[in-house]
Amino acid sequence: MKKLVKLFMALAALFIAVSPLSASAQRSLEDIQEDGKIIMATSADFPPFEWTIMEDGEAKIVGIDPDLAQKIADELGVELEIQDTSFESLVTQVQTGRADFAAAGMSYNPDRENVVSFSDIYYETTTSFVINNDNADQFTVQEDFNNAKIGVQKGTIQEELANDTFPDAEVVSMNKNGDLVEALKTGRIDAVMMDTIVVSEFVAQNEDEIQPVADLEIKLDDDGFAMITNKANEDLLAVINEVLNEALESGEVEEIIEKNIELNASGAEDTEEE
Ligand code: ARG
């Protein structure tokens, strides 16, 4: 692998020497290694993929994506720096080179692929609905949401999906998933549409107040989580794919998922005990 990295670096150097694209702000693999750190952008409101915990009095971003990103940084021999931002801005951050890559449970999507490059998919999922326990009788099938107030995170595929599927509904977009869940608990919205695994995590932590709609999931073509890089950084993308595929094949991705689901569950216990 180290050889491969060297080859990429040589190719990258050649590319920079001959390419007019070198004027773009994005950093090559060589720049990243020279700097000694790689910058990952995320939206840390999406357990078990990324969320914030307090460790020794300091906020720390943890989750499946940070764990996988750490493996990428290790492979490159650099430190990992995580920037927490709004989900909506991630594509632009990578496109303009403010971050080297983004890992945020981001679903592969052809529109996004017009402006950034996608890695291979490392997790497949569907979209689910979460509702307030008080309204469980009212919302049982998809049609029940036709005129509902549906919360979605800004810039997500769920935002588009909600608008397309429910043209007569009131789609309420917010920046952070935590705010959507709060709005659901207080009855300001009727439902939140989110990736299924994340619904499970939010429900597990708020069982007295919210629940998923049983047997209601929307599966999009090609839907699966992937990381994104700048279009001009194919060499970084190749390293990311190498690391992801190795971890998928060895079963490590599954272990990382399990570990983070447990970590999130233990965090919930801590808060309840306080
Ligand atoms: N999978 C959805 C999408 O790509 C939502 C991802 C939200 N991620 C996050 N870290 N908040 O649009």
How far is ligand 1, taken at its centre, from the CA of residue 248, in Å? 20
Is any atom of ligand 1 closer than 6 Å to the C-beta of 87?
yes
**Shortest CA distance to 192 belongs to which of 215, 214, 219, 211?**
211
**Shortest CA distance to 161 belongs to which of 169, 182, 84?**
169
Q: For residue 21, what pLDDT is reported?
A: 44
How far is ligand 1, taken at its centre, from the CA of residue 105, in Å? 5
Would you give per-residue pLDDT tens digits along the chain (274 residues)? 556 666 556 555 545 444 444 445 789 999 999 999 999 999 999 999 999 999 999 999 999 999 999 999 999 999 999 999 999 999 999 999 999 999 999 999 999 999 999 999 999 999 999 999 999 999 999 999 999 999 999 999 999 999 999 999 999 999 999 999 999 999 999 999 999 999 999 999 999 999 999 999 998 877 799 999 999 999 999 999 999 999 999 999 999 999 999 999 988 655 544 3
Q: For residue 29, what pLDDT is reported?
A: 95
Alpha-helical runs (H) found in the chain: 2-18, 29-35, 64-76, 90-95, 110-113, 157-165, 177-185, 196-205, 234-249, 252-273
User: pTM of the full predicted structure?
Assistant: 0.89
Alpha-helical runs (H) found in 83-226: 90-95, 110-113, 157-165, 177-185, 196-205
Q: What are phi and psi of 33, to 5 degrees?
A: -70, -35
How far is ligand 1, taken at its centre, from the CA of residue 106, in Å? 5
Mutate to test the pocket of ligand 1, among 52, 107, 126 (most ligand atoms within 8 A of CB): 107
Q: For residue 2, what pLDDT is reported?
A: 59
Q: For residue 221, what pLDDT is reported?
A: 76
Q: For residue 3, what pLDDT is reported?
A: 62
Q: For residue 10, what pLDDT is reported?
A: 59
For residue 171, with 0-12 CB atoms within 10 Å meaning exposed, 13-18 middle and 19 or more buried, which class applies? Answer: buried
Q: For residue 274, what pLDDT is reported?
A: 38
Is any atom of ligand 1 closer than 6 Å to the C-beta of 63?
no
Q: Strands 51-55, 58-62: parallel, antiparallel or unpaired by DSSP?
A: antiparallel
> Looking at the DSSP assignment, which residues form a beta bridge with residue 130?
192, 212
Q: What are phi and psi of 111, to 5 degrees?
A: -65, -45
How far is ligand 1, taken at its centre, from the CA of residue 11, in Å? 33
How far is ligand 1, taken at its centre, from the CA of residue 45, in Å? 9
Mutate to test the pocket of ligand 1, among 89, 106, 111 (most ligand atoms within 8 A of CB): 106
Is any atom of ligand 1 closer than 6 Å to the C-beta of 89?
no
What b/e readout covers 123-161, taking b as 16+ CB neighbours within 10 angstroms? Answer: bebebbbbbbeebeeebeeeebbeebbbbbbebbbbbeb
Q: For residue 25, what pLDDT is reported?
A: 75
How far is ligand 1, taken at its centre, from the CA of residue 56, in Å? 28
